[in-house]
Each structure stands twice: as structure tokens, then as C-alpha cells.
Amino acid sequence: MRHISSSDPANAPRTSGSRKVIYAAMAGNIGVAIGKFVAASMTGSSAMLAEGFHSLVDTGNELLLLHGLKRSKRAADQWHPFGYGKATYFWALFVALSVFLLGGGISIYQGVVNLSDPPALGNPLSNYIVLIIAAIFEGMSWRVSQHELVRRKRHGENLWRTAVKSKDASVFAVFMEDSAALLGIIVAALGIWLSHRFDNPYFDPAASIVIGLILIGAAVLLARESGGLLVGASMDQDQIAQVRKIISADPAVERVGHLLTMQLGPDNVLLTAAIRFQRRLNLDDVEQAIERLESAITLQYPPIHHLYLESGAIKELSKAVRQTTQQEIS
């Protein structure tokens, strides 16, 4: 078995992009949250209050994602020999839980309470002004995360497919949060407008409940993706197929057996492959073939920092050497 491991598994190129996305989202959410709470206190709007809690939760989530990125860059040690890359996935899962419990739960609770006793309608102008400003900031933040995903987009993929396959839970989390925020702003504005258009205060708390359901839906999607990565997701199947082609194309390879991969971080992959080399090859030929394969695979897929190639030929030769040595000793 041969192994090659990068001396620096940190994902610096994409980490900088991930941080830019998170900082952009956090900057917008802080100011927007204050404005929403002020507007909610002036008008008594349940939908606006729900949006305020939404922005406040999102701000806290960005801090958690930054903490996860910082933890993921810690060097490997004896307790974590493959590094701390999965810390990003853990904190993204924690973010999903906070969106579900705090963002979605509070919004639905607020809406249900106000449905039983809706507050009197106030002047909606301040609500509309805050929502417009919020839409601008959230749209700018969404654009930053969307641009980062487009930068990683492969030919033939749509934006959603790129987001799911990016393996970067922090960017995916911000993209989902911003998408949910924009939908929430539309729902809040619609609820406020319907309440005043029909002089019916029940539309406003109903919008708060809808916002909560949107947040819960976003949280479920984020939890599914980050949870899957945390428990050991593989590389994309098309990438695995390409790696198998690279190995099979080498003239020294007779057959490729199992080929297993695991995401250890956004840009840190573990790969193991069982290879049957041509029987006519000697040990030196097999060693040279393995070195060629290591170079070809890591050149095509730099995120593969831990590469294990298991050779049946080397096993057989080692077994034969041991048997010969034992016979000589006896």
C-alpha cells in the first residue's frame, strides 16, 4: 500500500472566498435586524418582528460559520490525524438547528400568538422602507454567495446543483439563508399589504407563520447537506468515475477494484483504491506505476490530499518474500 499526503491540507483558496461570503452576509444582517425591530415596534407588525428575529439569527449564524472555518484550519495532530476540516460541517449543522428552532420556531410562535389577538394596524410606510432596504442588503449578500458558487461551477451545472456539490457548507449555508431571507421579505411585504388592502389584521400574523415555514424548509435542506458531509460523504460520482478512468488508462494497470473517497473538508479528500497491476511487472515497475498514478490523480484533483493505492501485486510479492525467508530460516 502506498500513501501520499499533502503537508498542508488547508483549503486556503476557497477559504478566502468562503470568508468573503460570510462577512458580506453578516454586515447586511446586523443593520437590517436593527431596522426591522424598530419598524416592528412602531407598527406592531408580526411579520416585521419575525423578519427581525430572522436577521438576528442569521447574524449569529455567520459568527458560528466563521468559528467553524477557523477550527477547520487547525493542523492535523495525533487526535485528528486527517485534520479538522469537518469542523465546518459540524458548525453548519449547528446553524441549521438554530435556523430551525430560533428563526422558524419564533416566527411561527409569534404568528400563532398574534392570530388569536392581532394588534391594531399602524402606518405601514416604515415597514415598507425597511423591507426595501433589507431587500437591497440581502440581495447584495445573495449576489456575493451566488458569485462564489458560479466561480466553482462546472460545465453543464445549474446554480442549485453547484451549491449542493460544492462540499463547502459555509457558502451553501449563506446561500440558503439569503435565499430564505429574500423570500421572507416578499412574504412579509405581501402580508402587510394585504392587511391594509383589506383592512384585515390577520394577514400579517399569517405571513409570520409562512416566514417560519420557509425558514424551517431552508434549515432542513441545510441540515441534510451538512449532516451528510459530517458523517462521511464521498466525492461526486462523476469525479470518482474520472479518477477510475485515470487509473485504468495506465498501461501497467490490469484492473481497478474498489475506489472509496471521503470528504474531510471543503477542499480535503481521502481516496483509497485497490489496483491489480499487470502480472508481468516486477516490484520496481509497480512502484513507478504507482508514482505515475499519484501524480496524475493529484494533478487532476488537487483536493485529494490523502491518497492510498493498494497493490495486489505488491502484496503477492511481499508474501512470496516472507515465505522464502521463513523457508531459509527453517
Residue-wise pLDDT tens digits, 96-107: 888 888 888 888
Locus of grid cell 440558503 = 176
Q: Which residue has the higher pLDDT, 159 or 300?
A: 300
CA 297 to each of CA 266, 313, 324: distance values in angstroms, whole numbers, following the listed order = 18, 20, 35
Query: Rounded to an integer, what distance in angstroms lies between the CA atom of residue 191 and that of residue 185?
Result: 10
Do both 193 and 260 map to the same domain?
A: no
In the numeric block, which cell numbers belong to residue 141?
Answer: 449578500
Which domain-ending residue is among 202, 230, 258? 230
The neighbour count for residue 143, using CB atoms within 10 Å, is 12
- Of 12, 302, 16, 301, nearest to 148 by C-alpha is 16
Do both 212 and 257 map to the same domain?
A: no
What pLDDT band is residue 26 in, cutting at 50, 70 and 90?
confident
Do both 191 and 92 map to the same domain?
A: yes
Which domain-ending residue is among 230, 253, 274? 230
pLDDT above 90: residue 261:
yes
Query: Rounded to an integer, what distance in angstroms lies between the CA atom of residue 262 and that of residue 317?
Result: 29
Per the structure, the complete domain to which residue 37 belongs is given by 2-230
Locus of grid cell 449564524 = 61
At 125-156, the pLDDT tens digits run: 888 988 898 888 888 888 888 888 888 777 77
What is the pLDDT, as a whole number, of residue 317? 46
**Structural domains counted in the chain:** 2
Do both 195 and 120 map to the same domain?
A: yes
pLDDT above 90: residue 37:
no
Q: CATH number, domain at 261?
A: 3.30.70.1350
Do both 311 and 189 map to the same domain?
A: no
pLDDT above 70: residue 157:
yes
Do both 72 and 140 map to the same domain?
A: yes
- DSSP labels, 48-113: HHHHHHHHHHHHHHHHHHHHHHHHHTSPP-SS-TT-STTHHHHHHHHHHHHIIIIIIHHHHHHHHH
- DSSP labels, 290-323: HHHHHHHHHHH-TTEEEEEEEEHHHHHHHHHHHH
Which domain-ending residue is among 230, 252, 277? 230
**Beta bridge partner(s), residue 260:** 272
What's the whole-number average pLDDT of the chain? 83
CA 185 to each of CA 56, 107, 216, 292: distance values in angstroms, whole numbers, following the listed order = 14, 13, 15, 55
Give percent of the chain above pLDDT 90.
19
Do both 190 and 250 map to the same domain?
A: no
Do both 17 and 140 map to the same domain?
A: yes
Q: CATH number, domain at 6?
A: 1.20.1510.10
State mean pLDDT over 109-115.
88
Do both 109 and 135 map to the same domain?
A: yes
Q: Using alpha carbons only, give the angle 34, 36, 37 rounded to the nearest 5 degrees.
A: 65
Full-model pTM: 0.77
Do both 131 and 189 map to the same domain?
A: yes
Do both 72 and 100 map to the same domain?
A: yes
Do both 34 and 80 map to the same domain?
A: yes
Which of 11-25, 74-88, 178-192, 235-249 shows the lowest per-residue confidence on average (mean pLDDT)?
Answer: 11-25
